Amino acid sequence: MADALRWQLGTVTEIHQETPRAKTFTIALPDWTAHHAGQHYDIRLTAPDGYQTQRSYSIASEPERHGIVELTVERIDDGEVSPYLHDVVQVKDQIELRGPIGGYFIWDIGLGGPLLLVGGGSGVVPLMAMIRHRVAARSSIQTRLLYSVRSPDDVLYATELQMLQDHGEGVDVVYTYTRQAPAGWTGYRRRIDRGMLKEVASQLEAGLRPYVCGPTLLVEAAANNLLELGIPAERIRTERFGPTGT
C-alpha cells in the first residue's frame, strides 16, 4: 500500500465527454499498479499560493488495461476539483494523483457471483469497472445492473452498456428514470425501492453479491431493502458520496 499512497504525476492522454456533465479522463501513469475493480484514485490540485485540495474518483477502467487509468468525473459546480478538471485540463496536461486505494468495495472474478450492481448517478462508475473486468476476463458470471438516473441524457456509458446487452454478453441492464424517461418508455420511472430490488434480484441465481454505489440516501435505502429481502449483511457492499446524483 505504500506505493499506492505515494503521489505521482500522470499525463492525460484522452478526454471523452460522457454526458453534458461528466467526462472520462484517460491518464497514463509512470508508476502504474494494477487495481481491483471498485477502487479509486485521489487527485490533488496545488494553487500558486500553495493551497492544496484533493478529491477521490472511482476508477472506471478494468484492471486489464495496463499503464493507464480511466477516471469518470461528474462536474460539481461548487466543487474545488471537478470544475478545474472539466474547464481547464486538456490532453497532454499532467495531474497529480495517487492510488489505487480501497479494499472494501472491490470485486474480482475469483469472488464469484451472481452480481447485483445497483448504481445511482455517477455511482455507476466503479460498477462499470466491475462489468469491464468481467468482460475482459471472459467470465460468464451472471450480472445485472440496476441503474437509477434522472434522464436519458444522464446515462454514463450508454453506448457501451447497450452493446453489451445487444451482443449477449450476459450483462443485463435495468434502468429507472427518476425525472424524465425516454419516449415510449415502459420500464421503471421511480426511485429504487424494495419492490424494484425484489423484481430485479429474483431473476438472479441464489447467493448473489450486491454492490451498491451512489448518493448516501439511495445507498442506505437500497442496503436496508436488500437486508429485508433476506440477503446477508456480509454480502452487501456499499459505497456512498455526497448529495449529488439521483
CATH value at residue 177: 3.40.50.80
Look at the chain and report how many structural domains it folds into.
2
Separation of alpha carbons 236 and 223, rounded Å: 7
Residue 117's pLDDT is 98
- For residue 228, which phi and psi values (nearest 5 degrees)? -65, -25
161 and 184 share one domain: yes
- pLDDT given for residue 246 in this prediction: 37
Whole-number Å distance between alpha carbons of 129 and 59: 7
Give the span between the Cα atoms of 238 and 246, in whole angstroms. 16
CA–CA gap between residue 83 and residue 74 (Å, rounded): 9
> Is the torsion defined by CA of 57, 224, 209, 197 positive or negative?
negative
Q: What is the pLDDT at residue 1?
A: 43
Q: Which of 54, 80, 101 is the last residue of a domain?
A: 101
Residue type, 151: S
Residue 236 lies in a domain: yes
User: Residue 72 and residue 59: Cα distance in Å, rounded?
Assistant: 7
- The three grid cell numbers given for residue 88, joined into one nine-digit string: 481547464
Residue linked to cell 467470465:
139
- Boundary-marking domain end, from 101, 123, 151: 101
Of all helices (H) and strands (E), which one includes residue 219?
Answer: helix 216-228
Considering the domain architecture, whether residues 123 and 71 belong to the same structural domain is answered as no
pLDDT means per 10 residues, the chain with 246 residues, are: 82 97 97 96 94 96 96 94 96 97 95 95 97 95 96 96 87 96 96 96 90 96 96 95 50
Q: How many CA atoms lie within 13 A of 42 on its CB side?
A: 14
Q: Which H or E element spans position 241?
A: strand 237-241
Same domain, 77 and 176: no
pLDDT of residue 243: 47
Whole-number pLDDT of residue 242:
61
Q: What is the side-by-side order of every strand in the sheet holding 52-58?
A: 52-58, 40-46, 94-101, 8-19, 22-28, 68-74
